Structure 1
């Protein structure tokens, strides 16, 4: 049993701020069929999201239910425009666009059949980053009636918040334990603890992001070490057992500093973190559960003081 009295938990997020470094390009992407739509999902070092090729799910209001309207029915004689330009997702790095042009993400619905209610079994989305001017944009117009065929939703990772136990200032020759707060280890839509970071009721699609690994460079030239990371229980956010001393803990994510940080810049070690997010999706009541899309890394820097003297109880 863990002792809840007099815990020394301090989250280093204000005075010793974590600073995220320049993000990378898209780490992974996947296209799936869900209900009456096709969704293209992406993962990068800033966040994740989905672009879906169809509008609201078909829910008949009369019984017996008539067949769902086809894409051709929805068009009502108007032309189908298979492409749409979106802004570049955060975290994507591109070279300077040619003069007079700007970068867009152009998503195109391909291999679709208009006489089906969801574009057909071969419909899928193709993504491209292209520089465009007014003439280029005219090749991919977006009339109002095409809105019903598209849906976009996305989220970003929370700022990483590092916890160091048993004290916020580690002592020489005493193990220091590293964890991330539950709030910064998963993407949540609310305060209920739900593991679904994004939920789109229009397509019955859920997406979530969770930290699965953290590589720590403690800053004392001893090399990096890797920590498998899971979300700690809400009633034990730091994973540290106060009934045990620092030498008898279950958390394997630890480091022992042999020297104080007195000789370091600002008398603090520079701790570098590489945090790996894994993004998964779930379709409706799929018995198969969460299916991974891919992983992306977020890098951060933590300034950490280490003291020579060991305080009582510390």
Structure 2
């Protein structure tokens, strides 16, 4: 099986317009975790995903048996500021802020113990969207010495690249198969670049995040009902799940649609195909931690203009 990209690949560009769906909540189930010596708060929405971790700069052992410094020792007499204001993550829509104020995402470390090297077992993060002016900003300053206690990182989803097989222009009464390229079906860490979205915590733990397309719902635009296709990361030798050694009527792939009429009477001679792409985001916190854990899903919508020809023959 092999995808001949020149025949079946439609990259986002002039014909595919990406439209963001209404945002899901940034707070997902299981979004606050203890990872080695850090506590991390994670989010996933229709734009992307990421994490905000306390104690982000890990203590690096110097080869001695000396225990790592506690938070109090690292502060060296300076006050601990438990909160930090971040920009609102992309994909979150809020009403207009009151005059003279702006919206921020305020992350606060709570239930911490300064006499531990990682904040203690009860430490966790609380997240809130709050409008702030000069007075509120002064309540949550961020001096330089607090920088080592935080580590934010984020990733956006790649632009979807739609594959239509067996030809870019579907034929009437011949099944058209839909998929996404492997590169546009995943984000964050992968086998080729495991550190793509990974935060160093200590010598034994990294918080690593990745997203992958779990499903794609296709509204073919010809008045028939939308259909849902379960998705997954494909192998390199079979990136689109289409077997070119078989004809379109003998395929295992079920993500298909048969157009019964050409698009000649449609605006610009093309059907408007609507895609709803469901991303699922996972995290992993190092060895012996139970593998990858899902933190939630989010939908991204896209619109594809697709010509369909009244030609029965199959070919490029």
Taking structure 1 as the reference length, what is the TM-score of the superposition? 0.94
Partner of 1:184, secondary structure, is helix
CA distance in 2, matches of 1:113, 1:73: 12
CA apart distance, 1:225 = 0.5
Q: Is the 1:3–1:243 Cα contact (8 Å) retained in structure 2?
A: no
Q: Are 2:200 and 1:198 aligned?
A: no
Change (3 A) 1:215 1:28: farther
Q: Is the 1:175–1:255 Cα contact (8 Å) retained in structure 2?
A: yes
Q: Is the 1:268–1:304 Cα contact (8 Å) retained in structure 2?
A: yes
Q: Is the 2:170–2:176 Cα contact (8 Å) retained in structure 1?
A: yes
2:252 maps to what in 1? Answer: 250
Change (3 A) 1:253 1:197: farther
CA distance in 2, matches of 1:196, 1:176: 37
Residues 106-126 of structure 1 deviation map (CA, whole Å, 9 limit, x = unaligned): 000001111111111110000
CA distance in 1, matches of 2:5, 2:211: 32
Give unpaired runs (5+ residues) of structure 1: none
Q: Is the 2:24–2:298 Cα contact (8 Å) retained in structure 1?
A: no
Change (3 A) 1:40 1:5: closer
1:100 maps to what in 2? Answer: 100
Q: Are 2:86 and 1:79 aligned?
A: no
Partner of 1:18, secondary structure, is strand
Partner of 1:8, secondary structure, is helix
Partner of 2:187, secondary structure, is coil
2:313 maps to what in 1? Answer: 311
CA apart distance, 1:287 = 4.9
Change (3 A) 1:7 1:147: closer
1:36 maps to what in 2? Answer: 37
CA distance in 2, matches of 1:305, 1:40: 45
Partner of 2:7, secondary structure, is coil
Per mean C-alpha deviation after superposition, the further-off stretch among 236-245 and 89-98 is: 236-245
Q: Are 2:269 and 1:267 aligned?
A: yes
Give unpaired runs (5+ residues) of structure 2: none
Partner of 1:288, secondary structure, is coil
1:55 maps to what in 2? Answer: 56
CA distance in 2, matches of 1:196, 1:229: 24
Q: Is the 1:218–1:271 Cα contact (8 Å) retained in structure 2?
A: yes
Residues 185-236 of structure 1 deviation map (CA, whole Å, 9 limit, x = unaligned): 001458x645775111246111000000011110111111010001121122
Q: Is the 1:186–1:197 Cα contact (8 Å) retained in structure 2?
A: no
Change (3 A) 1:6 1:196: closer
Alignment equivalent of 2:304, drawn from 273, 282, 302 = 302
2:25 maps to what in 1? Answer: 26
Q: Is the 1:36–1:58 Cα contact (8 Å) retained in structure 2?
A: no
Q: Is the 1:176–1:256 Cα contact (8 Å) retained in structure 2?
A: yes
Change (3 A) 1:4 1:165: closer
CA distance in 2, matches of 1:185, 1:6: 16
CA apart distance, 1:312 = 4.6
